[in-house]
Copies of this chain bind each other. A is one copy, B any other.
Amino acid sequence: MPYFDAASAAPLHPVARQALLASLDEGWADPARLHREGRRARLLLDAAREAAAEAVGCRPDELVFTPSGTHAVHSGVSGALAGRRRVGGRLVVSAVEHSSVLHAGQAHAAAGGTVTEVPVGRTGAVDPEAFAAELRGPDGGPDGGTDSGAGSGAAGSGVALACLQSANHEVGTEQPVAEVAEACRAAGVPLLVDAAQSLGWGPVPEGWSLLAASAHKWGGPAGVGLLAVRKGVRFAPQGPSDERESGRAPGFENLPAIVAAAASLRAVRAEAAAEGARLRALVDRIRARVPELVPDVEVVGDPVRRLPHLVTFSCLYVDGETLLSELDREGFSVSSGSSCTSSTLTPSHVLRAMGVLSEGNVRVSLPAGTTEADVDRFLAVLPGVVSGVRDRLGAGAPVPGGGEDLVVDALGKRCPLPVIELAKVIGTVRVGGTVTVLADDEAARLDIPAWCEMRAQEYVGATPSPRGGHAYVVRRLS
């Protein structure tokens, strides 16, 4: 039963399991205590910190263990922002950061700070020049960045912190961390790198000031994140004080899990080069074969500068939740950025920022050990699953014709139905004529333009509809 959702959580690595078991017996006591059980726990904690620091590429006293990657990001962002409050209240992030970074930014904006989101291109990568421009302050930046929050005009309008992920968690695209780090250095702005998706594959390029990661993404246990803060970076931990982990991670240390996290990071790193090359070839095969096997598919993300194990594609006229559930029935566990698979009914902010199709979205992230046979079976099953879903949704070939402009009322219909209705009728209007789709589903804003690009039709634009939602106008070109 192949599990293809390693980017959500990887199964426990055998080394993690072994280390966890061993330290359940040796590492349950309080490492702050002076008795032998406490001293033994302290030794384990110190050794785990040294191993993790070596893998991260920092000094042991620069690294603390947190209860999760999310905590590492939240504490890292709030501590770095507070440490540079006098410089300013601006936070610059890429538009495709993990939700933990964006949520930390929202909290900053709610407290009066400003957050600037640097846009990404269609592959999901930021442009280092555009990122650098935002570091020069509110007046030096191009129009691309989107500001939110109330503090932009207040005293201290400088940039306090920049955040950039090492690689994107939804589409696998690697970010230009080295170039952005250099720009941050030149601007005197600390850079926090969220390395959650990449740390198991190798160290982050030099130049970061803070680094966050999460053990369960590399096959370590849940309950452990890493936060590294370079010496010399101004850092003021927020929230109630606590004497543990240099005052940067409150609460009793989750020692057995910490030991397992450090041991498994070493282990996956030792296997990373070989396993990465193997999975990279399997992902290349998925990237090449899926568009051949399934019509109307968009494979997204950078084909080369990417994580070795992750690929994402979107299928027109397919509802993501049904697709996931049909793949699950066939034994394949994948995830999706489609709006119908999230609690918010909005498509993934990553797909939105990239401006790519969001309907029928599938993320495949291969855990270590995935076999060629697993991937082949996936490729064999996928076309039938997609066409089955399309059939049930009535996504047939467009009816040919040459009639008048049309208005399609898809109000109240959820993704992918508005796009299916559009595709059905486009052939019934004359070339040069328009179809106006009334839709109030959030995904339509992304998927109708994406459909036009994929089908070589013209997306004219959208205006608010008097009955709610928007009127999306599409001109038939062929």
Contact = CB atoms under 8 A, between A and B. Distances in A.
A3 B30 CA distance: 12
Of the four ranges (under 10, 10 to 19, 20 to 34, 35 or more), the interface on chain A belongs to 35 or more
Interface string A185-216: 00000000000000000000000000000101
Given A100-B242, A240-B107, A250 B36 contact: no
B242 A239 contact: no
A103 interface: yes
Interface in A39-69: 67-69
Residue with the highest number of chain B CB atoms closer than 10 Å, among A107, A222, A256:
A222
Nearest to A223: B254
Contact of A69 (B70, B252, B255): B252
Interface stretch (A9-17, A151-159, A299-307): A9-17
B103 A35 contact: no
B33 A250 contact: no
Interface string A216-256: 10000111010000000000000111110000001111111
B251 A71 contact: yes
Given A8-B33, A107-B239, A221 B328 contact: no
A325 interface: yes
Copies of this chain assembled into the complex:
2
A247 B358 CA distance: 26
B9 A252 contact: yes
Given A67-B223, A222-B257, A251-B69, A36 B5 contact: no
A223 B254 CA distance: 5
Given A17-B24, A35-B5, A253 B70 contact: no
Contacts of A1: 36
B252 A216 contact: yes
Interface of A: 1, 3, 5, 8-12, 17, 20-21, 24-25, 28-30, 33-38, 67-71, 74, 78, 99-100, 103-104, 106-107, 214, 216, 221-223, 225, 239-243, 250-257, 321, 324-325, 328, 333-335, 341, 343
